[in-house]
Amino acid sequence: MATKGDSQSTMKFDKRLLSLDNALKTHRYQKDSLLEVLHTAQESYGFLDKDIMAYVAKALKLPASHVFGVATFYNFFKLKKPGAHVVTFCLGTACYVKGSEDILKKVETEFKVKRGESTVDGKLSVFTTRCIGACAMAPNAIIDENVEGRATSESIIKKIKEVKGD
């Protein structure tokens, strides 16, 4: 079982690891708590890298391949570190019908970044999501946790430039 003093782990002991350890303990290291534990890990670290997944695998006595399989199966888990600012485009039906794909394409061109990736300087990541449930205000984009409803490409590009400090 992995503990804070585990010599084989490359994980630095800090607040984030403490909350992960606490989650493992709360779930009594049960194998079927894997999803819950991964949720906590992502909440603390912001993403799941190889070290984190290996750590969880060891703690729950699961093959690392199983943990990797679960983490990659679910869209919610992020395996790469996101950029300093994040813009997420809703590609749910209502937003798509109202042109969110067009806005997204224009943002990709403007900031030279592809969906699911970050800009070279690491300042901006562009993600997509399937429905945030604000369909009545479609199309929507989330810029650093603020929802921009009834979006247009102009309004979104302007807002991104604002938060990025361009």
Partner 1 sequence: MRPEELHKSAEMEQELRTSYKFRINVCCSSGCAHFGALKVLKAFEDAVKEFGVEKICKVARTGCIGTCSVGPAVMIEPGDYLYESVTPEMAKKIVSEHIVNGRPIKGNLYSNSDFFQKQLRIVLRDAGKIDPLRMEDYIAVGGYSALAKALTTMEPAQVIAAISASGLRGRGGAGFLTGQKWNFVAKSSTTPKYIVANLDEGDPGVFANRTLAEADPHSILEGMAIAAYAIGSEQGYIYIRSEYPLGVQTLKKAVEQAKTQSFLGEKVLGTDFRFDVELRLGAGAFVAGEETAILASIEGRRAMPRPRPPYPAVSGLWGKPTLINNVETLANVPLIILNGSAWFSKIGSPVCSGTKCFSLTGKTNNPGLIEVPMGTTLGEVVYDIGGGVPEGRKFKAVLVGGPSGGCLPEDKLNLPIDYDSLTKAGAIMGSGGIVVLDDKSCMVDTAHFFTDFCVDESCGKCVPCRVGLTKARGILAGIMGGEGRVEDLEKLEKLMFLAKDVSLCGLGQTAANPILTTLNYFKDEYLKHIVEKKCPAGSSNCFNKQGKGMNTK
Q: In the complex, what is the shortest distance from the CB of residue 78 to partner 1, in angstroms, rounded to a whole number? A: 10
Residue 52's H or E segment, with its range, is helix 50-60
Which residue of 6, 49, 101, 117 would you call a contact of partner 1, by CB under 8 A?
Answer: 101
| Centroid of chain to Cα 1 | 27
The answer to whether 91 contacts partner 1 (rule: CB under 8 A) is yes
Instruction: Check: CB of residue 163 under 8 Å from CB of residue 143.
Output: yes
Which residue of 25, 81, 114, 130 would you call a contact of partner 1, by CB under 8 A?
Answer: 130
Cα–Cα dist 104/157, whole Å: 10
Is 6 or 101 the residue whose CB approaches partner 1 more closely?
101
The answer to whether 116 contacts partner 1 (rule: CB under 8 A) is no
Note the residue count of the chain.
166
Q: Which residue has the tokens 């699961």?
A: 62
Question: Helices (H), strands (E): how many in the chain?
Answer: 7, 5
Piece in contact with partner 1 (CB under 8 A), picked from 4-12, 50-58, 72-80, 151-159: 72-80
Q: Are strands 85-90 and 124-129 parallel, antiparallel or unpaired?
A: parallel
Find the farthest-apart pair of alpha carbons in the chain and give their distance in angstroms, rounded.
54
The answer to whether 13 contacts partner 1 (rule: CB under 8 A) is no
With both helix axes pointing from N to C terminus, report the angle between 50-60 and 15-26 in degrees, rounded to the nearest 10: 30
Q: In the complex, what is the shortest distance from the CB of residue 75 to partner 1, in angstroms, rounded to a whole number? A: 3
The answer to whether 63 contacts partner 1 (rule: CB under 8 A) is no
Q: In the complex, what is the shortest distance from the CB of residue 103 to partner 1, in angstroms, rounded to a whole number? A: 11
Which residue of 77, 79, 119, 155 would you call a contact of partner 1, by CB under 8 A?
Answer: 77
Which residues form the interface with partner 1 (CB under 8 A)? 30-36, 38-39, 69-70, 73-77, 91-94, 96-98, 101-102, 105, 129-138, 140, 147, 149
